[in-house]
Structure 1
Amino acid sequence: MSKIVNYFKDVQEELVHKTSWPTWPELQNSALIVMVASTIIALIVWGMDVSFDNTLDWLYKQLY
């Protein structure tokens, strides 16, 4: 049981004293970057989906 207690004490010590936490402006900036990148990737995937759908529709109309 003492090993478990020591483990959690070590975890708390590391989180409180050894971990460098980002500041609020850094978190906001990172979140904004993730949102913009996610939007761009979603638009690219949507554009590919629409173009493949239109291409296959045209191809099927030509063949049948």
Structure 2
Amino acid sequence: MAGLVNYIAESYNELKNHVTWTPWAEAQRLTLIVIVFSVIFSLVIWGIDTAFSNVIEYYFTLVKS
């Protein structure tokens, strides 16, 4: 149990004193960029999926006739 407490204490000390954190304004800007690109990427994937779905549906209506 002492090993776990020591590990947590050392981890906290490392995070507090030795890690360089991104400034808050830059973190917000980068988060916004990730959100925008995620939405754009998901819309592109949705569009491609819809197009392929329509093509496959059209193909099966031709084969069925």
Shared fold per TM-score greater than 0.5: yes
Between the aligned partners of 2:45 and 2:59, the Cα distance in structure 1 is 21
Give 1:13's aligned residue: 13
Between the aligned partners of 1:62 and 1:5, the Cα distance in structure 2 is 68
Q: Which amino acid counterpart does residue 44 of structure 1 have in structure 2?
A: V
Number of aligned residue pairs: give it: 64
Give 1:24's aligned residue: 24
1:14 CA drift (Å): 0.3
SS in 2 for 1:22: coil
Q: Any gaps of 5 or more consecutive residues in structure 1?
A: none
Q: Which amino acid counterpart does residue 31 of structure 1 have in structure 2?
A: T
* TM-score, normalization by structure 1: 0.85
In the TM superposition, what whole-angstrom CA distance separates every residue of 1:21-55 from its partner, at most 9, and x where no partner exists?
Answer: 11111111111111111011111111111101110
* TM-score, normalization by structure 2: 0.84
Q: Which amino acid counterpart does residue 54 of structure 1 have in structure 2?
A: N
Q: Which amino acid counterpart does residue 55 of structure 1 have in structure 2?
A: V
Q: Considering only aligned residues, what root-mean-square deviation do their CA atoms show, in Å?
A: 1.3
Q: Which amino acid counterpart does residue 16 of structure 1 have in structure 2?
A: K
